[in-house]
Structure 1
Amino acid sequence: MAETVSSNIHVDYVSLKDNARAHIGNVVHVHQAEDRCLPDLRNTDPRDDKARIEAIKGGLLEDSYRWILQHGDFQQWLNDKHSRLLWIRGDPGKGKTMLLCGIVNELNKTNAQLSYFFCQASDERINSATAVLRGLVYLIVNQQPSLLSHVQERYKHVGDALFKDVNAWSALSEIFLNILKDMDTSLQQTYIAIDALDECVTDLPKLLDFIAIKSAVFSHVKWIVSSRNWPDIQEHLAITQKTSLCLELNEDSISAAVSTYIKHRVEWLAQKKRYSETTKDAVRQHLSSNSNDTFLWVALVCQNLEKTSLKNTIQQLDEFPPGLDSLYKRMMQQIHNLEDASHVKFCCQILATVLHVYRPITIAELGLLIKCSDAELVHKAIGFCGSFLAVRDSQVYIIHQSAKDYLSGKAASTLLPSHAEINGLIFSQSVQAMFATLRRNIYNLHSPSLPTNEIKAPDPDPLQVIRYSCIYWLDHFCDIYAQDGQSQSQDLIDDKECQMVLLFFRKYFLYWLEALGLIGHVEDIVLSIIRLVNLLKGNLSDQESPDCRMQLLELTQDSQRFIWRNSSLIANNPLQVYTSALIFSPLKSITRRLFQEEEPQWLEITPTVEYNWSPYLQTLRGHSHWVRAVAFSPDGRYIASGSQDRTVKIWDVATGTEKQSFTGHFLGVWSVAFSADGCHVASGSYDETITIWDLRGKEQLTLKGHSNIITSVAFSLDGRYLASGSHDETIRIWDTATGKEQRTLEIGTEVRTISFDATASYLYTEIGLMKLDMEHANYKFVGYGLSTDKCWITWNGQNILWLPPDYQPSSGSAICGYGPHNLTLPEGSSADVEIALLNDSGRVTMIRMPRSEPHPLV
């Protein structure tokens, strides 16, 4: 969109590209098509995360990290051009994050380009591989705006979906690599730092493989990462040359750093609490003797001492045992020792709520979920929670991942409200809040067609406090009936809770979708609806008359279809949920009938639509050319598609969203197939190559050998072999581990369908069953089949029945029934074999043949 100030100056022609600005006479023309690119890219600013982490941890002490700057491993990584990856690893509380903060500060003093990211498991904004790349890219282009063009090139076609949809990892990894390539080409030294890899909850293997592979690519890009001592991380990073700095193996340096930290914190406490020298020495001695060289332990004890009266300080020291778990246990005991039992319950409720939410919540959101509208009281209660929680910018955080591990493990079963109880409370409070808040056109927009990128939330925003509830209430409802937060329970859904959900869908469903559209989360709710449907299916009552669960199931299934069809529309134009989304829904749609009065009154004649939902569930859109091949994964959860646009895409069947996109073929893709474990997809192309794609993010394997279009591909059941058919009239067998060709079978005709039997001893094709001899590259047809010219039905490769031209198959045939080598049928069975022949006219001819060897001359 271009914004132009009117002028009388005559201009024959002007062209603006990207964010260009043209000054013509007294007129300024500004091209604003990409103005939203950088703000939309920003999911978080790593600089703000770093500042927040340092503040929560009491500030960054330079003397506590300076030792690592002189360490030989760090110096080697810094100065050796061949050393490009440094992995700092250590147990919880050893100060890894603060080390990274200090290293970032030091690297910032150089002239090099620096980008960094801090993962945090409890915050879904910053706990995924995609979020890491998004943050790294944001920080780089924010500092070097010229590099934003790499993002804009993709952004201008799809907008912020580039960063949010399930294909964001693929897009961002490509963008990030292009940026690194640019900086590497310009010989600019670049540092990439990622803290707490172990707190990357989503797609960690992808991120690890990306780091391991790409850290070896660019000579002027150095990587530094930190994590706990996890074997999985070690395994993934083992494929590349790296320097590993283990904190446990640097005991003297860590001990000296902790001592410096203790000295600093004690001096601060002594000044604030007016310690005498005796008290000061006692505190220092206790911390030094019991810290086990753990920064976090020292920080937590000092936080507790800050709240302890001066006269009780020395006595209180004995209440802080060594070891994080022991300290956490003591902190929980302090909560349970509060004089007022209601305060104990309130604090435990707060801890359990913060533990179970899907992202950090604000004090206002916390107050809503625990049914307390007094923000000051909530803030005060957080202070009684034994230093488990911290507040920064009105958001509530668990102080450390190890604290979360303790609360969800040892404390969960005995000290905190149960999993079902706390999720039930979050669910009910969320629904009640939405009942009280949601309504049609909640932002009082002036037009039903107003797009989301032009909508500004009013001040105050009526959705601000219920934002978390709108997004996650259904997940918490389902969590009530999940055992240990994981597997689904067989307990029947409570009638009262079922009625509450049913009422919500009957009265507030459209208002909820509008709100989700306004806050940018309507497409995310599809998985929550599917989860609810699956829960209800397992909870149906044996009663003959439909109960609440059956009614809710029917309604949510209809709602699921409604969202599938309209999610993109509502995401872009939220108020269209009451117009286009309703009037183009089927007449028998339960949702349409329930909200009939919401349909636009200004329409005199409504469009003619289908009576019921059509059989097709969804249309998957994303390819830019016609689609040649599709295949379901073995578990039915995913679809692979190959297109003339030269890409292979992986789709989530449940949501219809694109999960991954693979590029690499030079011409269109003709065939695709999943491996039996669902981890690999093979694609055959017009470019005469086959590519095996690893869906876990590892490198692909390209197979070359055919001399024409690849028409079919298939994995053996054990995944060791891949068979391919081609227009070059051969079938080739490949080793999937090495990519080497094992056998070439000269067939004499193209083969368009191919599959292995369970033992990889036979190949099923449209012209018959082939018995393989892997050792000698031989094969023979067994049982019934078709001749290569498709004029004859064959037995063991010998012609036995000629087919007149009108009956000769043009698109192959399917041999149905029981063949002689079907292992599921007893050898003595006399079941016949049926052969189906498909003709150009569309006619299908069925021929039944005896299972035993035919005798055509008899």
Structure 2
Amino acid sequence: MMAYTTSYDGSNSGIQVGQNLGHITNQFLQSETSLNQACLRDLRTTNPHHDKDRIQNTNGGLLKDSYCWILDNKEFQQWQDNASNSLLWIRGDPGKGKTMLLCGIIDELTRLFGDTANISFFFCQATDVRINNATAVLRGLIYSLVKKQPSLLAHVKSQYDHTGKALFEDINAWNALSSIFTDILKDATLPSTYLIIDALDECTIGLPSLLDLITQVSSAYPQIKWIVSSRNWPNIEERLDTTHTAPISLELNEASVSEAVSNFIQHKVHYLAKVKKYSDETRDTICRHLSSNSQGTFLWVALVCQDLDRTSRRHALKKVEAFPPGLNALYGRMIDQVRNSEDAESCKRILAVMSIVYRPIVFDELVSLIELPDDLSSDFEALSEIIAICGSFLTVREDTIIFVHQSAKDFLLREVLNEVFPKGKEAGHYAVFSQSLQSMFKTLRRDILDIKFAGYRVQELRQPGLNLLAAAQYACVYWVDHLQDSRYDKNDDFGLDGECVDAFLQHEYLHWLEALSLLGSISQGIAALLKLARLIVVSYSSCA
């Protein structure tokens, strides 16, 4: 606390008081700003704007001719103009372009109302635990709203000041965030607001609660405009089928979608023709084949063009004619390509790991989680070539490996599960758990970044220092989750490796905590310890 004295008998006493009060006020304002920044930092699970940019870049950019049809759609215009229809539900089968359609709508709404309205959005992704649950959706929407209108942060701070980051992560997070979200929507200063959620079907945790909240608040606050998208799932339909919902079925708008796909084909093939130097005849033949076989599916076109991009122009016509129509048939052809590859085993191991990890991973992490030949584990260029063989399933963006689409992962786990996991999916989780422990044993040590003194702020750390933890970053956060999902208690083949876990906790526990701190993942580490404690209790109970 600052100590100071004030004199009332001198000519400058007022100045002294004013200076001290000004200094205190300045300190208070700085402290308040710091607390607000901490609250925002803890609230943020992802930046939806960055997610949108990533999705658009992964799909080769946003083509206006592929989404502009929706702006003239009768149901869309009625939703815009009719106060009684506050919720717009865009529904369609996989690969029909729902996500890019919403990206286009967001751009149009931003162009029209960006200065006068709040436009908050969230993209669900089932393959990433950070953005595949109802709590994360609310965190993302609230984060966008308070970033655009900082005064709304008061609704978050009223609870955050008492609980800190746990407000967003503990067992009561959904209830707390629902209350905060509702308070924000009731705020008298809230301008026109659009709330947009893509891929509800990829919200794998808490979807019923999220759907109920959407229908409740869209009915209670009709001035708030909602847009959501999903596959044609009955469990979503039964909750969204209300008088306040305006549905747009992509299958019922087949003509508009087919024309949009045709524009997409023209764009992709003309780009290929320029890069690959196709003749006019080759270009036109490819366009005709894609138009005849796309079945109104953007993803099918994108995957075929991606493969053509890796094919010499001499073989382009032969290659394109070999692609069967339909997504499942295309995935089937690609798994045959994996089977017939000289690197088939490595491909299957990579596909297996990518099918069960809880978020997209980078090359360093992949190498630490899987057994690969020595010439691959140290050669990322060669590893990229292996991933290219899995081209219709996986892609690489900025050294991060991701599924091209949720339907690709669905196909693997539905159609070729036994081939990708010959010993079962649980065995795959146990293998990743085991590899994770080995990676941490190999990487972690005391003062791994050679900081040498206490009190160093984690926020001040810079690369390349943190590169030392790159390979073990995923393992540090998720090793207990993989042990849990190996279902050791239900299968004698995958018993809890007590000696290995015990050795890790005895020799690497403090090093692990240090690594979690450096990675900003202490809260995940606490959650992992609680899970591990429960697993050990269950293990000993079953042995008693």
Q: Does TM, normalized by the shorter one, top 0.5?
A: yes
Question: Which residue pairs with 1:353 in the alignment?
Answer: 353
Question: Which residue pairs with 1:294 in the alignment?
Answer: 297
Following superposition of structure 1 onto structure 2, how do residues 403-414 of structure 1 map, counting pairs within 5 Å? 403-414=408-419
Residues 1:469 and 2:470 are matched in the alignment? no
The CA RMSD over aligned residues, in Å, is 2.9
For 1:408 and 1:355, locate their aligned partners in 2 and report how far apart those are by CA, in whole Å.
Answer: 8
Structure 1: which amino acid aligns with 2:109?
Answer: L
Question: Which residue pairs with 1:624 in the alignment?
Answer: none
Question: Which residue pairs with 1:162 in the alignment?
Answer: 167
Rg comparison, structure with higher value: 1
For 2:356 and 2:384, locate their aligned partners in 1 and report how far apart those are by CA, in whole Å.
Answer: 19
Question: Which residue pairs with 1:231 in the alignment?
Answer: 234
Structure 2: which amino acid aligns with 1:398?
Answer: F
Structure 1: which amino acid aligns with 2:501?
Answer: V
1:335 CA displacement = 1.7
For 1:454 and 1:322, locate their aligned partners in 2 and report how far apart those are by CA, in whole Å.
Answer: 50
Question: Which residue pairs with 1:330 in the alignment?
Answer: 333
Structure 2: which amino acid aligns with 1:389?
Answer: L
Residues 1:77 and 2:71 are matched in the alignment? no
Determine if contact 2:430/2:494 at 8 Å carries over to the other structure: no
Give SS of 2:219's match.
Answer: coil
For 2:247 and 2:233, locate their aligned partners in 1 and report how far apart those are by CA, in whole Å.
Answer: 13
Question: Which residue pairs with 1:757 in the alignment?
Answer: none
TM-score by length of 1: 0.57
The partner residue of 1:274 within 269, 277, 285 is 277
1:323 CA displacement = 1.2
The partner residue of 2:433 within 418, 424, 427 is 427
For 2:413 and 2:283, locate their aligned partners in 1 and report how far apart those are by CA, in whole Å.
Answer: 35
Structure 2: which amino acid aligns with 1:367?
Answer: V
Highest relative contact order (Cα 8 Å, sep 6+), 1 or 2? 2
Higher strand share: 1
TM-score by length of 2: 0.88
Structure 2: which amino acid aligns with 1:476?
Answer: H
1:659-688 deviations in Å (ceiling 9; x for gaps): xxxxxxxxxxxxxxxxxxxxxxxxxxxxxx
Following superposition of structure 1 onto structure 2, how do residues 95-244 of structure 1 map, counting pairs within 5 Å? 95-111=97-113, 112-182=117-187, 185-186=188-189, 188-239=191-242, 241-244=244-247
For 1:532 and 1:144, locate their aligned partners in 2 and report how far apart those are by CA, in whole Å.
Answer: 44
Structure 2: which amino acid aligns with 1:472?
Answer: Y
Give SS of 2:419's match.
Answer: coil
1:180 CA displacement = 1.8
For 1:15 and 1:137, locate their aligned partners in 2 and report how far apart those are by CA, in whole Å.
Answer: 35
For 1:398 and 1:530, locate their aligned partners in 2 and report how far apart those are by CA, in whole Å.
Answer: 33
Following superposition of structure 1 onto structure 2, how do residues 24-39 of structure 1 map, counting pairs within 5 Å? 31=32, 32-39=34-41
For 1:177 and 1:13, locate their aligned partners in 2 and report how far apart those are by CA, in whole Å.
Answer: 42
Structure 2: which amino acid aligns with 1:39?
Answer: R
Question: Which residue pairs with 2:394 in the alignment?
Answer: 389
1:415 CA displacement = 4.6
Cα 1:154–1:28 change in 2 (3 A) is: closer
Determine if contact 2:85/2:243 at 8 Å carries over to the other structure: no
1:340-393 deviations in Å (ceiling 9; x for gaps): 2xx221121111111111111122111211242433332332222123112223
For 2:463 and 2:260, locate their aligned partners in 1 and report how far apart those are by CA, in whole Å.
Answer: 50
Following superposition of structure 1 onto structure 2, how do residues 506-525 of structure 1 map, counting pairs within 5 Å? 506-518=506-518, 519-520=521-522, 521-525=524-528
Give the number of aligned pairs. Answer: 520
The partner residue of 1:318 within 318, 321, 325 is 321
1:80 CA displacement = 1.0
Q: Which segments of structure 1 move beyond 6 Å, counting only runs of 4 or more?
A: 12-16, 445-448, 451-455
For 2:277 and 2:211, locate their aligned partners in 1 and report how far apart those are by CA, in whole Å.
Answer: 49
Determine if contact 2:87/2:226 at 8 Å carries over to the other structure: yes
Residues 1:399 and 2:400 are matched in the alignment? no
1:188 CA displacement = 2.2
Give SS of 1:427's match.
Answer: helix
Determine if contact 2:286/2:320 at 8 Å carries over to the other structure: yes
5+ residue gaps, structure 1: 483-487, 541-549, 551-858
1:35 CA displacement = 3.1
The partner residue of 2:50 within 29, 39, 48 is 48
1:313 CA displacement = 1.1
For 2:336 and 2:480, locate their aligned partners in 1 and report how far apart those are by CA, in whole Å.
Answer: 33
Give SS of 1:409's match.
Answer: helix
For 1:29 and 1:302, locate their aligned partners in 2 and report how far apart those are by CA, in whole Å.
Answer: 53
1:13 CA displacement = 9.3
1:193 CA displacement = 0.5
Structure 2: which amino acid aligns with 1:277?
Answer: D
5+ residue gaps, structure 2: 5-12, 372-376
Determine if contact 1:188/1:220 at 8 Å carries over to the other structure: no
For 1:114 and 1:14, locate their aligned partners in 2 and report how far apart those are by CA, in whole Å.
Answer: 43
Determine if contact 1:193/1:225 at 8 Å carries over to the other structure: yes
For 1:320 and 1:531, locate their aligned partners in 2 and report how far apart those are by CA, in whole Å.
Answer: 49
Following superposition of structure 1 onto structure 2, how do residues 709-724 of structure 1 map, counting pairs within 5 Å? none
Higher helix share: 2
1:732-784 deviations in Å (ceiling 9; x for gaps): xxxxxxxxxxxxxxxxxxxxxxxxxxxxxxxxxxxxxxxxxxxxxxxxxxxxx
Residues 1:437 and 2:443 are matched in the alignment? yes
The percent of aligned pairs where both chains have the same amino acid is: 47
Deviates more, 1:201-210 or 1:213-222: 213-222
1:240 CA displacement = 5.1
1:285 CA displacement = 1.4
1:417-436 deviations in Å (ceiling 9; x for gaps): 54245334322221111112
Following superposition of structure 1 onto structure 2, how do residues 716-735 of structure 1 map, counting pairs within 5 Å? none
Determine if contact 2:146/2:153 at 8 Å carries over to the other structure: yes
1:599-651 deviations in Å (ceiling 9; x for gaps): xxxxxxxxxxxxxxxxxxxxxxxxxxxxxxxxxxxxxxxxxxxxxxxxxxxxx
Following superposition of structure 1 onto structure 2, how do residues 316-715 of structure 1 map, counting pairs within 5 Å? 316-338=319-341, 340=342, 343-371=343-371, 372-415=377-420, 417-418=422-423, 419-442=425-448, 456=461, 459-461=464-466, 462-481=468-487, 489-493=490-494, 497-518=497-518, 519-520=521-522, 521-530=524-533, 532-533=535-536, 536-537=539-540, 540=543
For 1:314 and 1:70, locate their aligned partners in 2 and report how far apart those are by CA, in whole Å.
Answer: 37
Question: Which residue pairs with 2:310 in the alignment?
Answer: 307
1:110 CA displacement = 2.0
For 1:380 and 1:85, locate their aligned partners in 2 and report how far apart those are by CA, in whole Å.
Answer: 45
1:477 CA displacement = 3.1
Determine if contact 1:334/1:386 at 8 Å carries over to the other structure: no
1:307 CA displacement = 0.8
1:201 CA displacement = 0.8
Cα 1:454–1:195 change in 2 (3 A) is: closer
Determine if contact 2:70/2:76 at 8 Å carries over to the other structure: yes
For 2:456 and 2:169, locate their aligned partners in 1 and report how far apart those are by CA, in whole Å.
Answer: 17
Determine if contact 1:94/1:294 at 8 Å carries over to the other structure: yes
Structure 1: which amino acid aligns with 2:412?
Answer: L
Determine if contact 1:86/1:245 at 8 Å carries over to the other structure: yes
Determine if contact 1:22/1:30 at 8 Å carries over to the other structure: no
Structure 2: which amino acid aligns with 1:358?
Answer: Y
Structure 1: which amino acid aligns with 2:367?
Answer: G
1:110-164 deviations in Å (ceiling 9; x for gaps): 2222000100000111111111111111111112222222222222222222222
Cα 1:315–1:507 change in 2 (3 A) is: same
Structure 2: which amino acid aligns with 1:148?
Answer: L
For 2:241 and 2:300, locate their aligned partners in 1 and report how far apart those are by CA, in whole Å.
Answer: 31
Question: Which residue pairs with 1:744 in the alignment?
Answer: none
For 1:323 and 1:378, locate their aligned partners in 2 and report how far apart those are by CA, in whole Å.
Answer: 29
For 2:194 and 2:304, locate their aligned partners in 1 and report how far apart those are by CA, in whole Å.
Answer: 35
For 1:211 and 1:398, locate their aligned partners in 2 and report how far apart those are by CA, in whole Å.
Answer: 28
1:450-506 deviations in Å (ceiling 9; x for gaps): 598778577412433312112222332344456xxxxx53324469x5543332233
Give SS of 1:512's match.
Answer: helix
Give SS of 2:229's match.
Answer: strand
1:529-578 deviations in Å (ceiling 9; x for gaps): 145326634763xxxxxxxxx9xxxxxxxxxxxxxxxxxxxxxxxxxxxx
